[in-house]
């Protein structure tokens, strides 16, 4: 039975990391064009504001407050990179 213990633990960690990835890391409601991840400065030009939600997996969901349009920015972590980030988080 113990020959499967490592595989089971790896799968348990993978499932936990995938669940953690869906969690919200932070929320920003702003009109700044200088955010480190912002490659769309036109979204906040002329006094417009946006709501940015950063998830634990690294991607950012931006909602344009005027139109309600949703834009995905950044890159989602997957596989071993996601597991590594999850383990670094101390969860």
| pLDDT tens by residue, 42-83 | 999 999 999 999 999 999 999 999 999 999 999 999 999 999
Tokens of 41: 């400065």
Strand partners, 63: 51, 70
Q: Which helix (H) or strand (E) holds 27?
A: strand 24-30
| pLDDT of the residue at 51 | 98
Dihedral over Cα of 36, 29, 67, 63: its sign: positive
Encode pLDDT of 6-48 as tens digits. Answer: 899 999 999 999 999 999 999 999 999 889 999 999 999 999 9
Residue 67: both structure tokens together: 């139109």
The residue range of the domain holding 32 is: 2-88
What is the total count of domains within the chain? Answer: 1
């Amino acid at each position: 039975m113990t020959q499967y213990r490592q595989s089971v633990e790896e799968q348990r960690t993978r499932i936990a990391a995938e669940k953690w990835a869906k969690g919200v890391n932070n929320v920003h409601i702003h009109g700044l064009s200088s955010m480190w991840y912002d490659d769309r400065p036109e979204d906040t030009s002329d006094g417009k504001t946006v709501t940015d939600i950063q998830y634990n997996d690294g991607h950012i969901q931006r909602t344009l407050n005027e139109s309600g349009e949703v834009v995905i920015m950044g890159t989602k972590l997957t596989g071993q990179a996601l597991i590594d980030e999850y383990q670094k988080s101390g969860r």
